[in-house]
Structure 1
Amino acid sequence: MSESTTHQQRCGCHGHGCTETVSAHEHQQEHEAHHEHEHEHEHEHSHEHAHQAGACCGGTDGGVLKARLSDKAGAESTRLRIQAMDCPTEARLIEKALAGVPGVTELHFDFFERVLTVEHERLESQRLIDAIAHVGMRAEPLSAGAASEPAASTRHGGQGWFALSGVAAFTAEGVAWGMHDQHPLVVLLAVLSIACGGLPTLKKGWIALRSRVLNIHFLMALAVSGALLIGQWPEAAMVLFLFGLAEKLEAMSLSRVGRAVRELMSLAPATAWVRAGDDWREVAVAEVAVGDKLRVRPGERVPLDGDIVVGRSDFNEAPITGESLPRDKGEGEPVFAGSINGQGMVEIVARAPADGSVLARIIDSVRDAQASKAPTQRFIDRFARIYTPAVVLLAVAAAILLPLFGLMPARTAFYQSLVLLVIACPCAMVIATPVTLVSSLAAAARHGLLIKGGEALETAARVRAVAFDKTGTLTTGQTEVVRILPLAECDEVEVLRLAAALDAHSTHPLARALLSAAGARQLDLPPAEQLREQAGLGVSGMIAGRQLSLGSQRMARDAGAWGPALQQSLDEIELQGQAALLLLEGSRALGAIAVADRVRPEAAAAVSRLAALGVHAVILSGDNQRVVDSLGRVTGIDDAQGALLPEDKLTQIERLQARYGVVAMVGDGVNDAPALARADLGVAMGAASDTALETASVALMDDRLAKLPQMLSLAHRTMRVLRFNLGLALAIKLVFFALALSGLATLWMAVFADVGASLIVVGNGLRLARHKP
């Protein structure tokens, strides 16, 4: 279905009988406009600090950094591999270097895969590479379809030389214990250590100074220079070695996050067998066009989303939906890229390009997670802009004021100010958020939970109420006609024939139920003319000169068709927990059609788990109150609101927000678009709807409600890990503030603690990548 297709939201009996015309395309445009406004605001705020010296680790967001925004048409993009880029520290230098290149409009940093995407106005890639080389980094161009797996890091040169640097540094420290820091042998060993392993850090410090960027390399170089100035040769060598070792370990840890993304990417095969006349040929999936016929042999992965046209087989969709049991599928049923074919040979018709498949959207969602600044990340960004210059000023003040007031000897005060410089960069806090969030999102994707970015994940952790739509959410959406009650001279067949004719062109589940029942009886449907939808009421039209209407109780009351016979029929239907569609001719009721929808078997258990998480559940439905109450009893939901118009659902969402705070809305992503948009967190059921994937913040890929409490539980765990990481990093900083101001801290201790904190938060965040619901 096209995004510009007008979707109808039925809100009478069983969601039927009224329509709200919602253009999914317009809704998406409004969403994108709102996002663009927020993003531009964030960019302006970030850019305001772009040239200030206080931006620790580059003062970046760890995601997408905007050098400029441009509205010019004809922009191109170039992907560059930069092995030395795995932290916002390097990103800030790159941004500064490319800001001076005319025509660069936007920069996208992927630290975990070490790929920079530059959007520009027809610039040669060599010009970008030269600009990046100016800040001491080597960039290699990547083609659009190139694999994104980075090579092994060689940031600090040969491993042998680096090992020799460590041996020399530890030996210098040991010799200094028996002699003194300025002994010629100690100095020689320290110089050897710095020459073998410390020069890259000093060089980066010089580049940062030349670029007027206050980052960790500049602070380390300054601290080491100060240590050498006061004769602390072994300590200077040890600091440089420990910092270099920590950078290597941190780069290795961060590469594991990128590996989690690449594991998702490896699920889709690189090639597909495409029909070419009477033969089959193997081509790259990027070359397959929508509508091409593909062959999938037993045991192969499906290369692209498509529909089966020949054959039948079972498919393991665990990589997409998280569902471990294979699903039997035949002609006309959809299959997803990345799923594994079982025993049968099938032919499918591609219905989406390689970059438009469900799997591609999952991968994009995880890869782009570091690009969307979650609230915690925005707070850390603001904090970093204040923290680093404040600590640098504190270091300067300590070096001057402590000796001035006789609290510490001048040499000791100067040394402790160098310690403060080492801990002035909040690297652990800056890197904690993207590592934790991306690890969590990758784990969620592997289990059939598509969460669009860190902000959605943080919002999920704060959800205190969940509003459920009824049709297709708490129920399966597989509605069927249970019985027909004629109320005038019409018989059952005539009532069904006329009702199905009015709904012949609708795609609503109730319309499909009517058409299915009519098809089962092999009824010929007369043409309906002058069809008109009435919001909250139903549909009306002319059939063979008769003015007929099909819809809700409200429609019958407004038409003056209410009477004892109709009331008795409705009571009989509703006591069974069924919904009724009423067929009217003017002010006369011709019949009532009872329809029923099966309750999802896991609905009650999912609601119970939500309650255990402290989340209140409510039903918001267009069905009459008796039917909704019946569903509430089955699922264990006490707060069940029925007979709601589209605007009533929005009012109910606002009521829940006023009472509980953060509210999630669970729907099918099409009929409930307004309510999904109004809620703090929109959750769509299933993977088959493009609208579900485009408009909702979360999609439950295998259409199972059990995944909703799993998603909220993962969000809670993620925030606990994130808060622990940030708290630990900050606590270590505070401890060393106290030690430095007391004259008890040493440079190598500060480096060890600072980089140790970074490694701890990275490792702790990576634990989420192994999360299992």
Structure 2
Amino acid sequence: MHDHSLHQAADQAIPAGERARDPICGMMVAKATALTSERAGRTFYFCSPACKQIFEDPERELKSMRTRVALALTGVLALAVLRAGAFLALAAGATIVSWAPIPALPWFTWGVWLFILVTPVQFIGGWSFYKGAWAALRSWSINMDLLIALGTTVAYFYSVAVVFAPDILPVKVEERDVYFEVSAVIIAFVLLGRYMEEIIKKRSSAAVRKLMDLRPAIAHVIRDGKEEEIPAEAIMAGEIVVLRPGERIPTDGEVIEGSSAVDESMLTGESMPVSKEPGAGVIGGSLNKSGMLRFKATRVGKDTALSQIIRLVEEAQSSTAQVQRIADEVTRYFVPAVVIVAFLAFFGWWIAGNFPQGLLAFIAVLIISCPCALGVATPAALMVGVGRGADAGILIRGAEVLERARKLNVVVFDKTGTLTKGEPNVTDVVPLGSLDEAGLLRLAAAVEVGSEHPLGEAIVRGATMRNLELPAVTSFEGIAGHGISGMAEGRKILLGNRRLFAREGIDVAPAEQTMAALEQGGKTAMLVGFDGALAGIVAVADTLKPEAKEAVAALRSEGIDVIMLSGDNKRTAEAIGRELGIDHIIAEVLPGDKAAMIRDLQTKGNIVAMVGDGVNDAPALATADIGIAIGSGSDVAKETGGIILMRDDVRQVVYAIRLSRATLRKIKQNLFWAFIYNSIGIPIAALGFLNPIIAAAAMALSSLSVVANSALLKRARLDV
């Protein structure tokens, strides 16, 4: 209900680059005249002191609002008691004056009592409306506060004139024709609705606050050879930070000593602790679980991953979707028109001889037309949607991404490191002689110890994972284009291709059928020889991520075509595509050609998302309608993706797309109901069929319904 986003046409004169959106109320303000506040190296702009206060100290502002709500409700309750007491007194045949607590003062009439009770509500409870109205007038805009202040002030001062100076009014009135109650109840309803809205928004936008709470207040660093305790923000790049179990990591860095398990769940959404050894990177804000670490600070202050994440979430939550920009354009002219309709209704009823009814119609039109629901329709849904994404380790850069996600019909995956693990692993060990699988792999790994070739490293890693003890190898020989050989346990070991075995005079015919099948499956098959005979086959491949097939199936169920881009040869790429259930494979693509492939898909009318690792795939990510950078938790700033997945899990692609679509649906639902509400309510109010008190209640209810509808996003089923 805190809507300041509606402006007059004069606002259009301000160039886009010189305007900014108030993160609290959504109002577009001129940077040159707006109030400002700094956070994490970024400047925020505000339309009024009230918005700035909410941003800088939301708890204090909520407490102040609670006080004003209590005052307003107390006043309204007192009015109800007074009205009930007067009714009972009249029913008993007494006069109002004889019922009053001070019968000796005849000037304490019914109207004076109402004046005494309502005045604090009008000017203390409603003070925020006057402040907001003044801020709007100064910036040549019309906002909700101005409409409420105008409507209630007219009702209040008209009633004051009826009680204390009835002769100045253009028609003859009696003291019972006062509207003090209308003014007080409107203020109470609107304040109560705004207070409830702020509570719901506070619960829904917890993501940024939770991220900010991750920053520890103090840190322990080594200075002049001694450990010192300093404020965390005073850490300088290059300093050595000491981290004990149970402490939060104060800044980004690289481990130089110690080992531990670190909980990064609040940043990445990954529940399992991550092992940290010397050389590993640590992210500020994550929690050290077990061991003691020393690390060198590499990025501090606003450059840390946590600061970048907070900035991205804040920017996304305060961004403007195209649907909201259309709503802003409509309401730019809608609100001034409403003020004209209110005055026409007033003068129409007055000319018809019913001045009091005209006054009620004037107030009702102003109150029912307050476009508070329009103002919060987009921010409320964005706040919940982007916040839910941040909780799951998904960063959405802005509202534009949500809109493009609605029309998305093609998702292109880079293969290596995205659908696959990005490193070769042993997939098959096939004995063809006297050795079993363990014995065969043990000998193959023995001759590859110390190898820098990725395939050799994969074989050694496979043996290590099986806890195999490798024999020492002598007489090691590498044969270019063929393979390697060496002596172990007094026997010669061979590992290589068919050419190596032909050179050694060893028949490989018994292995041909198995070799062909493995190669058809996209694997690299290597022959192993032992003591002059064929011993078996070891196959290595870049294995699929276990969740990749599930993610592809989920995307296809959403009606999205899935394409895989790969630099591998066509046979290998097609084998992986078959395993994943992907029909459209583009193989043998050079890294520089990926962006051209995306453009080609777009020229055919497709809305394309590109999923990659955010480094080699940067041009393609930037070219796509939606770039999705995956597994980028430690270096957010370099990413070009519109969506950043902190966790290396391709199922989050599906989650992110579903979340984007669900959020945009909520925005559209909110805007629809807000427009319908105003379109129906204004003519009813102008014709005199709507009491201003009912209008205020309906307005408060409409805004609450928009916020509550947005909050339902937290319950939407999005998981694969």
Please indicate, yes or no, whether the TM-score normalized by the shorter chain is above 0.5.
Answer: yes
User: What is the CA–CA distance in structure 1 between the aligned matches of 2:670 and 2:201, rounded to whole Å?
Assistant: 15
What's the offset of the Cα at 1:676? Answer: 0.7
The answer to whether the Cα contact below 8 Å between 1:317 and 1:326 also exists between their aligned partners in 2 is: yes
The answer to whether the Cα contact below 8 Å between 1:315 and 1:326 also exists between their aligned partners in 2 is: yes
What's the offset of the Cα at 1:168? Answer: 3.2
Q: Higher RCO, 1 or 2 (CA under 8 Å, sep at least 6)?
A: 1
Match of 2:116 among 192, 210, 220: 192
The answer to whether the Cα contact below 8 Å between 1:164 and 1:196 also exists between their aligned partners in 2 is: no
Question: What does residue 560 of structure 1 align with?
Answer: none
The answer to whether the Cα contact below 8 Å between 2:308 and 2:637 also exists between their aligned partners in 1 is: no
Structure 2 counterparts to residues 663-702 of structure 1, below 5 A = 663-687=608-632, 690=635, 693-702=638-647
TM-score, normalised via structure 1 length: 0.67
Question: What does residue 162 of structure 1 align with?
Answer: 72
Structure 2 counterparts to residues 209-248 of structure 1, below 5 A = 211=138, 212-228=140-156, 229=158, 231-248=178-195
Structure 2 counterparts to residues 25-104 of structure 1, below 5 A = 52=9, 66=18, 86-88=24-26, 95=29, 99=32
What's the offset of the Cα at 1:208? Answer: 5.3
SS in 1 for 2:198: helix
User: What is the CA–CA distance in structure 1 between the aligned matches of 2:87 and 2:691, rounded to whole Å?
Assistant: 15
Alignment pair present for 1:628 and 2:602: no
Question: What does residue 455 of structure 1 align with?
Answer: 400
Alignment pair present for 1:207 and 2:148: no
User: What is the CA–CA distance in structure 1 between the aligned matches of 2:129 and 2:575, rounded to whole Å?
Assistant: 72
Alignment pair present for 1:357 and 2:304: yes
What's the offset of the Cα at 1:260? Answer: 3.6
What's the offset of the Cα at 1:51? Answer: 6.3
Amino acid at match of 1:479: P
User: What is the CA–CA distance in structure 1 between the aligned matches of 2:678 and 2:454, rounded to whole Å?
Assistant: 65
Match of 1:153 among 52, 63, 81: 63
User: What is the CA–CA distance in structure 2 between the aligned matches of 1:393 and 1:202, rounded to whole Å?
Assistant: 21
Alignment pair present for 1:419 and 2:364: yes
What's the offset of the Cα at 1:195? Answer: 1.5
Alignment pair present for 1:256 and 2:203: yes
Question: What does residue 269 of structure 1 align with?
Answer: 216
Amino acid at match of 2:78: A
- Offset from partner CA, 1:234-290 (integer Å, 9 cap, x none): 222322222233333333333435544211211232222212244322222222122
SS in 2 for 1:214: coil
Q: 652-661 or 275-284: which moved more? A: 652-661
Question: What does residue 559 of structure 1 align with?
Answer: none
What's the offset of the Cα at 1:481? Answer: 9.4
Structure 2 counterparts to residues 725-740 of structure 1, below 5 A = 725-740=670-685
Distance 1:219 1:141, change over 3 A: closer
Match of 2:330 among 383, 400, 412: 383
- Offset from partner CA, 1:415-445 (integer Å, 9 cap, x none): 3232111133311111121122122212211
User: What is the CA–CA distance in structure 1 between the aligned matches of 2:234 and 2:455, rounded to whole Å?
Assistant: 42
The answer to whether the Cα contact below 8 Å between 1:465 and 1:663 also exists between their aligned partners in 2 is: yes
Identity of matched residues, %? 31
Question: What does residue 530 of structure 2 align with?
Answer: none
The answer to whether the Cα contact below 8 Å between 1:285 and 1:303 also exists between their aligned partners in 2 is: yes
SS in 2 for 1:294: strand
What's the offset of the Cα at 1:160? Answer: 5.7
Distance 1:634 1:742, change over 3 A: same
User: What is the CA–CA distance in structure 1 between the aligned matches of 2:19 and 2:222, rounded to whole Å?
Assistant: 46
Task: Indicate the structure (1 or 2) with the bigger Cα radius of gyration.
Answer: 2
What's the offset of the Cα at 1:671? Answer: 0.8
Match of 1:710 among 655, 659, 673: 655
Amino acid at match of 1:757: S
Distance 1:676 1:141, change over 3 A: closer
Q: Give the number of aligned pairs.
A: 600
Distance 1:60 1:260, change over 3 A: farther
Alignment pair present for 1:437 and 2:390: no
SS in 1 for 2:701: helix
TM-score, normalised via structure 2 length: 0.72
Distance 1:204 1:169, change over 3 A: farther
The answer to whether the Cα contact below 8 Å between 1:369 and 1:452 also exists between their aligned partners in 2 is: yes
Match of 2:697 among 735, 738, 752: 752
SS in 1 for 2:690: coil
Gaps of 5+ in 1: 1-45, 70-81, 120-127, 484-499, 501-509, 527-567, 581-592
User: What is the CA–CA distance in structure 2 between the aligned matches of 1:379 and 1:622, rounded to whole Å?
Assistant: 43
User: What is the CA–CA distance in structure 2 between the aligned matches of 1:136 and 1:349, rounded to whole Å?
Assistant: 42
What's the offset of the Cα at 1:216? Answer: 1.8
User: What is the CA–CA distance in structure 1 between the aligned matches of 2:87 and 2:460, rounded to whole Å?
Assistant: 94
Distance 1:156 1:266, change over 3 A: closer
Distance 1:54 1:274, change over 3 A: closer
User: What is the CA–CA distance in structure 2 between the aligned matches of 1:452 and 1:754, rounded to whole Å?
Assistant: 32
Gaps of 5+ in 2: 98-107, 160-177, 429-447, 462-472, 480-512, 526-537
Question: What does residue 268 of structure 2 align with?
Answer: 321
Distance 1:248 1:116, change over 3 A: farther
What's the offset of the Cα at 1:449? Answer: 1.0
The answer to whether the Cα contact below 8 Å between 1:66 and 1:107 also exists between their aligned partners in 2 is: no
User: What is the CA–CA distance in structure 1 between the aligned matches of 2:366 and 2:293, rounded to whole Å?
Assistant: 64
SS in 2 for 1:463: coil
What's the offset of the Cα at 1:383? Answer: 2.4
The answer to whether the Cα contact below 8 Å between 2:9 and 2:333 also exists between their aligned partners in 1 is: no
Structure 2 counterparts to residues 477-516 of structure 1, below 5 A = 477-479=422-424, 513=454, 516=457
User: What is the CA–CA distance in structure 2 between the aligned matches of 1:109 and 1:187, rounded to whole Å?
Assistant: 49
What's the offset of the Cα at 1:150? Answer: 4.9
Distance 1:284 1:151, change over 3 A: farther
Question: What does residue 79 of structure 1 align with?
Answer: none
SS in 2 for 1:596: strand
What's the offset of the Cα at 1:709? Answer: 0.9
Structure 2 counterparts to residues 525-544 of structure 1, below 5 A = none
Amino acid at match of 1:215: N
- Offset from partner CA, 1:20-69 (integer Å, 9 cap, x none): xxxxxxxxxxxxxxxxxxxxxxxxxx99x9664799xxx999xx994599
- Offset from partner CA, 1:315-352 (integer Å, 9 cap, x none): 22211211112222322222222222222222222222
What's the offset of the Cα at 1:742? Answer: 4.3
The answer to whether the Cα contact below 8 Å between 1:317 and 1:340 also exists between their aligned partners in 2 is: yes
User: What is the CA–CA distance in structure 2 between the aligned matches of 1:66 and 1:250, rounded to whole Å?
Assistant: 30
What's the offset of the Cα at 1:605? Answer: 0.4
Alignment pair present for 1:286 and 2:224: no
Distance 1:206 1:439, change over 3 A: closer
Amino acid at match of 2:145: H
Match of 1:369 among 316, 337, 360: 316
Distance 1:140 1:712, change over 3 A: closer
Distance 1:109 1:208, change over 3 A: same
- Offset from partner CA, 1:575-603 (integer Å, 9 cap, x none): 231479xxxxxxxxxxxx99731111110
Question: What does residue 583 of structure 1 align with?
Answer: none
Question: What does residue 256 of structure 2 align with?
Answer: 309
Question: What does residue 171 of structure 2 align with?
Answer: none
